[in-house]
Structure 1
Amino acid sequence: MYFVKKATLTLLGLILVLTLAACGGSSESSSSSNGESNSESSSSSGIQEMTIKISHVVAENTPKNKAAEAMAKHIEENSNGKIKVQVYPNGQLFDDKTEVKNLQANNVQFIMPDMSKMVGMNPAFNVPSLPFVFSTNEAAYKFWDGEKGQEILKSLKSEGIIGLRMWPNGPKQITNTKRPINSPDDLEGLKLRVQGGQVLASIFKNLNAGPLQLPFGQLYTALEQGTVDGQVNTFSNIATKKLGDVQKYITTNWGAARVDYALLTNQKFWNSLNEETKKVVQAGIDHGTKKARELAEKLNQEAFETIKKRGKMEIHELTPEERKVFQKALQPVYEEFKDEVGADVIKAAKAASAK
C-alpha cells in the first residue's frame, strides 16, 4: 500500500511539473507572438488595420466629395491596404443636423461641416462671415493654416473633436431680380435669402436689406415666387442651381462673406493612432486639403464662365473703389461682433490679407 501511495504521489508530481512546463511554454509562446505583433506595429510596416468613415452632406460632383475621395484613396494606397476608407456623400450616413453628434460618438471619423454650424461651440468660427475679411482665397488659407486659425480649429477638444484643416467653397456673390447692386444704397429694401448665422444677417441689416433664412433646397422656388428678391452664394452654387433662370442681376467681386468648411475628426480615434498610422492618415489629409482647394477655385471659375455664357444675368463686377464703400458701410459689424468673435481673431484674419 505504501508503495502504491508513493507511486501515486510521484505520478501526480510529474503531472504537475509537466503542466507548469506547458503553461510556461504557452506563456513564452504568447509573449513571443505579442512581441512580434508589437514589433510590426512600431516598424515600417506597423500600420494599424482599421476602417475609417468620412461623411458629408453634399453631392458626388462637388469639390468636397472629390477631395474626400482623393484623401481616402491616398490613405488606402499608402497603408498597403491595411486601412479601408469609406466616403458617404449626400448625407447617406448622417445629415447636417446629426453629423456632429455622431462624430462625437465616433460613429464616423471625419466630417466637413460649414463653419457656420460650429459657432455654437466657438463663435470664432464666424470668421468666414465677417465682411470682406479675406481679400483672396490665399488669404483665407493663410489664416486657417496659421497659428490663430489652427487655435480655433483645435478649440473643440473639450467637445471630443479635433479640427484639422480648412476646406473651401469660396467667396459669396449677390444676385437679385430688382436692380444692379453697385453701392450699399442699392440694397435698401431688398429681401435677401441668407444661409444663416447672426453675422451674415447683421451685414444686410446694416445695408437696410431684409435677410431671411431659408434652406438651400427651397431657394429656387422662393426666388421664382418672389418670396425673396435675391440671395448670396458662391459661383458654383449659383450656376449648378441655375439661379440665373430666376435672377436678373449678379454682383461679383463681392466677397463680403465666404463659405468654408472645417475638416473635423473624433479625438479618441485620433489619439488611438500610433505614430506610423497617424503619419499615413495625416498625409492623406494634406493631399485631400490640397485637392479641395484646387477644385474649389477651379469649379468657381468654371461656374462664372458658365454664368457669362448663359447670358441670362446682367453682371456687374465691383471695382476696388466700390468695395471700399461697402467696407466702410459694414464696419459696425466688426464692432458688434468684436467681443464675441475675438479682437485677436479679427486682427489675425485681417493681417492674413495684408501684403
Structure 2
Amino acid sequence: MRSTARRIGQHLLPLLILAITLPIGGCLPRRVADHEQWAPEERIILTFSHVVAEHTPKGLAARKFADLVHERTGGRVEVQVFPNGQLVGDGEAEIRALREGRVDMIAPSTGKLAELFPEWQVFDLPYVFADHDAVVQAMEGAIGERLFKVLRRRGLMGLTMWDNGFKQMTSAVRPLIHPEDFAGQRFRVQPSRVLVEQFRLLGATGLTIGFDETYRALEVGQVDGQENTPSNIYSKKFHEVQRYMTLSNHGYLGYVVIVDADRWRNLDEEVREVLTWALEEATRWNRENAGRLNAEDLERIRASGHVEIHEQTPEERAEWAEALRPVFDSFLTTVDDAELKLALEELKRAGSPVPGNP
C-alpha cells in the first residue's frame, strides 16, 4: 500500500504544479506558447504504448493525440508514444503494465480485451455490423456504455474507441471464395473465443499468436493465413508471405484507449480537461481518416503483385454469413448482463448479412 501511494504521489506532484499554471475556466486556450524550457520537476510525461506501426490508423491517432496535448500545454505535458510493442508486450502484458504504473495509456484491440473481459468479443462477431455507421452507433450507444462499465468494475477507465476498419481474409494455400475453402487450414487469431469459433465453423483452426509474431508464423508456415485490415497487413508486410486475399469485410477491428481508473481520477481537473479534449479531437480525426488509410494501403498491396485479390460478391457474403451465424447465438448465451444482452439482440435484428461494402 505504501509503495502504491508513493508511486501515485510521484505522478501527482508534477500534476499539481501543472494545475497552478494552466488557465482556470471553462474554455481551453487555443495554444500555450512554449517560450521557456520547463524544469524537469515541472513537466509531466505520460507514456502511451501500442503494438501497431506508426503509419496505421491507431498509430497516427496516437501521434495526433500527443501533438495536440503538447500544443495545448506548451510542452509541459508530453505524451510519449511507443509503437510496435517497443515498451511492453501484447494483450494481457499491456494491461498488467498499465496497472503496475509502468505505462500510463494503452490502446488494445477489442479482441485483446477478450482475454480478461469476454463481453468485449461483441466486436469480433462476424457480419454483425452492416457498415461503419452501425459500429459507431454500437460504440456510442448502450453496447459501448455497458462495455465501459465492465472495465470500470476492474479498475480501468475506457476513454474512447478508435477505428481501424473491417478485416479481410488472407491465405497462402488457396483462394478463399466459399466456406469450404477454409477446410484444414490454420489461421492466426487474437485471443478471442469468438474468433476461434469462427474458424472452427469454417472447418479451420484458429491459433492465438501475438501480432508482432504473426509475420514469422506466416513465413515459416506455422499458420496458413490470417485476418486483418489492409493497413495492418501492409504495414507488417503480411502480404509478402500470403498468396490470396479476399475482401470480405467480415469483422471489425477497433481499439479502446484505456487508463488506470484511480490514476485518472487523481489527475487535476485541468489536466483531465486537456487530455479529454485532445482525445476527442484525435478520435474525430481517426474516424475521418481510417477508411482512407486502409484504402490507400489496399492499393499498395494490389500494386505489390504479391497477392491475388478477390472481392467478395453479395452472394458469397451471404454464404459466409449463413455459415457463421451460430457464432452470434453461441456468444449471446455467455452474456449475463441483461441490458447488454438486449442491446445485442437489437443489434442482431438491425444487422444484415448482405449489405454493401462498408
| TM-score interval (norm. to shorter) | 0.7 to 0.9
SS of the residue 2:165 aligns to: strand
Residues 219/273 of structure 1: CA separation in 2 closer, same or farther (3 Å cut):
closer
TM-score normalized with structure 2 length: 0.78
1:223 and 1:229 in contact (8 A); partners too: yes
Give the whole-Å Cα distance in 2 for the aligned partners of 1:218 and 1:89.
15
Decide whether aligned partners of structure 1 residues 269 and 185 sit closer, same or farther in structure 2, where only a CA change above 3 A counts: same
Aligned residue among 198, 202, 215 for 2:193: 198
Mapping of residues 32-71 of structure 1, within 5 Å: 42-43=24-25, 50-71=44-65
Count of residues in Structure 1 that have an aligned counterpart in Structure 2: 319
Aligned ranges for residues 9-28 of structure 1 at < 5 Å?
none
Percent identity between matched residues is 37
Q: Contact (CA 8 Å) 2:107, 2:256: kept in 1 or not? A: yes
Distance 1:39 1:243 in 2: 48
Structure 1 residues 85-164: aligned runs within 5 Å: 85-96=79-90, 97-164=92-159
SS at match of 2:147: helix
Cα shift at 1:132: 0.9
- Corresponding residue number in structure 2 for 1:347: 345
Query: Superposition RMSD on alpha carbons, in Å?
Result: 3.0
Match of 1:256 in 2: 250
Map 1:293-312; keep pairs closer than 5 Å.
293-312=287-306
Instruction: Name 1:79's counterpart in structure 2.
Output: 73
Q: Is the 8 A contact 2:28 2:274 kept in 1?
A: no
Q: Please name the residue that 2:274 is paired with.
A: 280
> How far has the Cα of 1:350 moved from its partner?
3.8
Cross-structure match for 2:223: 228
Higher helix share: 1
Query: Does the Cα contact within 8 Å between 2:218 and 2:224 map onto a contact in 1?
Result: yes
Contact preservation (8 Å) 2:163, 2:253 = yes
Letter in 2 for 1:299: L
Alignment-mate amino acid for residue 325 of structure 1: E
Listed as ranges, the gaps of 5+ residues in structure 2 are 1-18, 30-41
Separation (CA, whole Å) in 2 of partners of 1:239 and 1:302: 10
Q: What TM-score do the two structures reach when normalised by structure 1?
A: 0.79
Distance 1:120 1:322, change over 3 A: same
Residue pair 1:155, 1:162 contacting (<8 A) in 2 also? no
Q: Distance in 1 between matches of 2:83 and 2:128?
A: 30
| Cα 1:91–1:244 shift into 2, 3 Å | closer
1:80 CA displacement: 4.6
Unaligned runs of 5+ in 1: 1-36
Return the letter of the residue paired with 1:338: L
